[in-house]
Amino acid sequence: MSPDGKTIALVVAAGTGSRAGTGAPKQYRRIGGKALLAHALDHLRHPLIDEVRVVIGGGQEDPYRTALRDQQIPPWTPGGETRQESVRSGLEAIFAAGGAGAVLIHDAARPFLPAAVIDRLLKALEESDGAVPVLPVVDSLAHSGLSLGDPVERSSLVRVQTPQAFRFGPILEAHRSWAGASPATDDAQVARAAGLSVATVEGNQMLEKLTFAEDFERAEQRLGGGLVSRTAMGFDVHAFAVGETLWLGGVLIPHNRGLSGHSDADVALHALTDALLGTIGAGDIGQHFPPSDPQWRGAASSRFLEHAQALIEERGGRIDHVDLTIICEAPKIGPYREAIRERIAALLRLPADQVSVKATTTERLGFAGRGEGIAAQAVATVRLPEQS
């Protein structure tokens, strides 16, 4: 959440997508068995985003509901004739509903948003009115006409992506006062015209816009046959200690003792983090968050799990399933199983049915059986591009 209020993601999905070929508007076309818009919303599940709203085209209520029938349907607002009018419509709806501290304005045509980009954008808002993700221009550029013209210096050029993050009040006023002679190409243009400061952060190749039919073909390949499956296991154990709180799977569990160890000693999330890191050959939790570094003393283990998820996402990977087993005599895990499952699903931005949480005992054998601590083992399955 923004210090000034909640953070809202506004997804613009009001276009017709005519360049993508015949058929439904591109935001409702299916890739990997799911509508493009549904993929975009899946990737906006993030702990720093409090709410998601969508701008849709006139008469698109039925395809909107159909596209999202397997997930919760966010509030929607009708768009306008241009993208800028659609964005303003969405911002006005947020204002009417109580406003926000920050807003991320995102195009549904860039569905595969890495969590790390969201982190960078919201961090940049601490010192700027707005922030946009950018990538360097790597191809040679030249003016075009009947024949190839003069080259264009590219060292100072960047490719601008979405989502674009802004402090809510200033960007709303910027849209209200927009008087450009031609439609704005993005919200950063509107912001700069109003005198707002706009920072740049590192973008990601996963945010390439799906515009033409061949873009959809590549996306389909990436979600299907272009990925290879990897599975890895994680294991961790921590001892009980008096005076500590007990965190398991990101959930605070009432108990007369907690666990002692690295960070908040959440043995379940530690095992799961190591399993995810293993799928991409990225070592273990201690390499990324050394126990000797005082900044991790008492830290929430959810940060470690989100870090592993972000590394997989930046590699173009997808988490298919995670399976966690908690091993202890006490406390009883059953009453907290669903809360742990839902918390892990939220942290990994997965549907709950892709997360399994189990518990067992050692029949009073070994350290766990004697009640000296808790162990956890986890298995993660991901799919990665073949070149990974």
In DSSP terms, 241 is beta-bridged to 258
Q: Where are the alpha helices (DSSP H) in 264-380?
A: 267-279, 285-288, 302-314, 337-348, 366-369
Q: State the Cα–Cα distance between residues 296 and 264, nearest whole angstrom.
A: 9
The residue type of 55 is: V
| pLDDT of residue 222 exceeding 80 | no
- Residue pointed to by tokens 């954008």: 121
Task: Report pLDDT for 246.
Answer: 95
* Span 123-140, pLDDT tens digits: 999 999 999 999 998 888
| pLDDT of residue 200 exceeding 80 | yes
Q: State the Cα–Cα distance between residues 146 and 323, nearest whole angstrom.
A: 60
Q: State the Cα–Cα distance between residues 258 and 374, nearest whole angstrom.
A: 10
Determine the angle formed by the axes of helices 302-314 and 115-124, rounding to 10 degrees: 110
Q: State the Cα–Cα distance between residues 186 and 178, nearest whole angstrom.
A: 12
| pLDDT of residue 66 exceeding 80 | yes
Q: State the Cα–Cα distance between residues 146 and 216, nearest whole angstrom.
A: 30
What domains are defined for the chain?
7-223 (3.90.550.10), 228-385 (3.30.1330.50)
Q: Which residue has the higher pLDDT, 21 or 225?
A: 225
| Average pLDDT score over residue span 302-331 | 91
In DSSP terms, 51 is beta-bridged to 8
Question: Residues of the chain with pLDDT > 70: what percent?
Answer: 95
- Element (H or E) spanning 93, and its range? helix 83-96
Question: Residues of the chain with pLDDT > 90: what percent?
Answer: 66
Determine the angle formed by the axes of helices 267-279 and 302-314, rounding to 10 degrees: 10
pTM of this structure: 0.67
* Span 2-37, pLDDT tens digits: 656 899 999 999 976 554 444 568 899 888 768 899
Task: Report pLDDT for 130.
Answer: 97
Question: Is the bond preceding 114 in cis, omega lying within 30 degrees of 0?
Answer: no
Using alpha carbons only, what angle is made at residue 340 by residues 280 and 359, rounded to the nearest 5 degrees? 85
Position 388 confidence tier, pLDDT thresholds 50, 70, 90 = very low
First to last CA, the chain: 34
Q: Which of 61-65, 112-116, 224-228, 374-378 has the lowest mean pLDDT?
A: 224-228
Task: Report pLDDT for 20.
Answer: 45
| pLDDT of residue 181 exceeding 80 | no
- The backbone torsions φ and ψ at residue 218, rounded to the nearest 5 degrees and listed phi first, read -65, -40
